[in-house]
Amino acid sequence: MKYSLVIFDLDGTLLNTIGDLAASVDYVMRSRNLPEHTDAEYRQMVGGGIKRLVERALPAELAANEAYVEECVAQFRRYYVDNIDRHTTPYEGMPELLCSLTDKGVKVAVASNKFQHGTDRLVAKFFGDIAFVAIEGNREGAPLKPDPAIVHNILRIANVEPSKAVMVGDSGIDIRTATAAGIDSIGVAWGFRFAEELYAAGATRVVSTVADLEALL
């Protein structure tokens, strides 16, 4: 294998979580008599953490009200935590890829902008048999991707040099995170964004199938 460590984004890369994210934001919107959105619209809103998702879903005048946004974020969290896995599923072939990599001695990790508790719950439910070296979600006070801190922490935990690590993700945020951290990246086109965004962010490799991804690792 080319790499000793593969760092995966979660939402849109390992798991299709858009159904539960959309349902949770729509719950907040509906309870406040605000317009709801389609899954396609939510795909363009996710990736920057819960607060950014809520801000993007709200009408502009409400999104500018910090106190109102925080109320909506808290309401979202309460609902989402109770309904986090109703529609979520792994992308076809990803559980098998993770098993194949670990069987070959490749270390695997998760780097997500989802809050840590939610990241831990989903990884435990859908990939509980995988020995991840690190499962890094967003914590209080920690910077979100594309800040490279999350990758730097994973490299330290895994004890792997940047030249032997790669970030796999579905958004420009993931590509920019990898670049900022000084590691390689591979974009996946099956997630919430489009290949055009990945290339615009600096991706040189974008795959459409898990088989193609494995061939590059």
State residue 1's pLDDT score.
86
123 lies in which domain range? 5-16+88-216
Cβ contacts of residue 33 below 8 Å, gap of 6+?
A: none
3-state DSSP: the chain helix, strand, coil percent, rounded to 5? 50, 15, 35
Q: Say if residue 111 is in the same domain as residue 203.
A: yes
Domain-terminating residue out of 27, 49, 82: 82
Burial class (CB in 10 A: 0-12, 13-18, 19+), 166: buried
Q: What is the CATH number of the domain that holds 127?
A: 3.40.50.1000
pLDDT digits (tens, 9 = 90+) for 75-133: 999 999 999 999 999 999 999 999 999 999 999 999 999 999 999 999 999 999 999 99
Element (H, E) at 149: helix 149-158
pLDDT digits (tens, 9 = 90+) for 128-157: 999 999 999 999 888 999 999 999 999 999
Q: What are phi and psi of 50, to 5 degrees?
A: -65, -45
The whole-model pTM stands at: 0.94
pLDDT digits (tens, 9 = 90+) for 172-204: 999 999 999 999 999 999 999 999 999 999 999
